[in-house]
Amino acid sequence: MKNLEKFDVIIVGGSYSGLAAGMALGRSLKKVLIIDSGKPCNRQTPYSHNFLTQDGKTPKEIAQLAKLQVELYNTVHFLEGLATGGKKTQNGFQIETDSGESFEAKKLIFATGIRDIMPQIKGFAECWGISVLHCPYCHGYEVRHQKTGILGNGEYGYEFSRLISNWTDDLTLFTNGKSTLSKDETQKLMGKGIKIVESEIAELQHVEGHLKQLVFKDGSVAALKAIYAHIPFEQYCPIPETLGCELTEEGYIKIDGQQMTSVEGVYACGDNTTRMRTVSNAVAMGATTGMLLNKKMVLDEF
């Protein structure tokens, strides 16, 4: 592939959302380049759920089949690599990669996801996506009626405890330090049989990512099947910000009803734009982005 080869659209990120956008654009006869580094955020997660026709498959299986299907559209091209830079040009945009190659496109789609920032708790990262969970709709059914924990405090800890109580009656909120719940919130949770533990966590003991127990700094332990956690994140790809794309207060790429960012010609979809972090939602957003972008390009050039 020659330097500065020109495309209608470059999609940065070739996981579920990027592939779905690529399929919609390929079916619209657009010349597309999908750049992907092969490191999806759910690569450690054993199974994907709550996605019709794909329930219970591994994330890798879904992505591999998706790519095989998108590859059938001969106007869609793939590049394995990391997009490292981007800039506005007279005719659109230029994207540079870690291999030193550069490509031009009229429009850009960022489907780059987010990077989770793990707390400094031994064993946490190894359990993330396996038994340390972020979404009950993705994984709650598999640990239903089991001894379950929530790592959280304050408003989040209270609200998430209320939600997770739908899946289990054996629920404990671990505040990992002094509780910041109000008196009313504390009484409400305890009245529902939800325990509150304020001891600081030293370690998550596990076997290949499957949680066995929490070990606290005071030496006590708590056996658990799974624990839910809401952890901070950052944008996986810094290019949208360097191009001038605005972020929301939470740190997601800000988009309008047409999936466009604050920069004309730059679109975004998937986990980098929303807290609704599911494979099915990423696919839906990607397909929507591809269709909306194609329509705009067709009408603008008509």
Same domain? For 19 and 100 the reply is: yes
How confident is residue 46, by pLDDT bands cut at 50, 70 and 90? confident
Q: What is the pLDDT of residues 67-117, one digit of tens each?
A: 999 999 999 999 999 999 999 999 999 999 999 999 999 999 999 999 999
Percentage of the chain beyond pLDDT 90 is 92
- pLDDT recorded at residue 42: 79
Same domain? For 211 and 183 the reply is: yes
Say whether pLDDT at 29 is over 80.
yes
- pLDDT recorded at residue 269: 98
Q: What is the CATH number of the domain that holds 50?
A: 3.50.50.60
Same domain? For 63 and 212 the reply is: no
Give me the mean pLDDT over the 244-260 stretch.
Answer: 97
Its pTM stands at 0.93
Q: What is the pLDDT of residues 144-159, one digit of tens each?
A: 999 999 999 999 999 9
- pLDDT recorded at residue 1: 43
Sequence letter at residue 63: A
Q: What is the pLDDT of residues 169-218, one digit of tens each?
A: 999 999 999 999 999 999 999 999 999 999 999 999 999 999 999 999 99
Same domain? For 182 and 225 the reply is: yes
- pLDDT recorded at residue 205: 98
- pLDDT recorded at residue 68: 97
Say whether pLDDT at 7 is over 70.
yes
Same domain? For 203 and 250 the reply is: no
Question: How many structural domains comprise the chain?
Answer: 2
User: Given 229, 253, 273, which residue is the final one in a domain?
Assistant: 229
User: Given 177, 198, 229, which residue is the final one in a domain?
Assistant: 229
Check: CB of residue 167 under 8 Å from CB of residue 247: no
Give me the mean pLDDT over the 254-266 stretch.
Answer: 98
* Domain encompassing residue 142: 124-229
Residues 163, 150: Cα–Cα separation, whole Å: 11
Same domain? For 13 and 110 the reply is: yes
> Which structure tokens are listed for 128?
């993330």
Say whether pLDDT at 56 is over 90.
no
- pLDDT recorded at residue 3: 54
Give me the mean pLDDT over the 131-142 stretch.
Answer: 95
Average confidence score pLDDT of the chain: 95
Same domain? For 238 and 103 the reply is: yes
Same domain? For 223 and 239 the reply is: no
> Which structure tokens are listed for 249?
């207060």
Same domain? For 89 and 156 the reply is: no
Q: Is the dihedral of CA 9, 14, 16, 17 positive or negative?
A: negative
Residues 281, 161: Cα–Cα separation, whole Å: 24
User: Given 202, 229, 256, which residue is the final one in a domain?
Assistant: 229
Contacts of 163 by beta carbon, 8 Å cutoff, 6+ apart: 136
How far is residue 206 CA from its own chain's centroid? Answer: 24
- SS3 of residue 33 by DSSP: strand
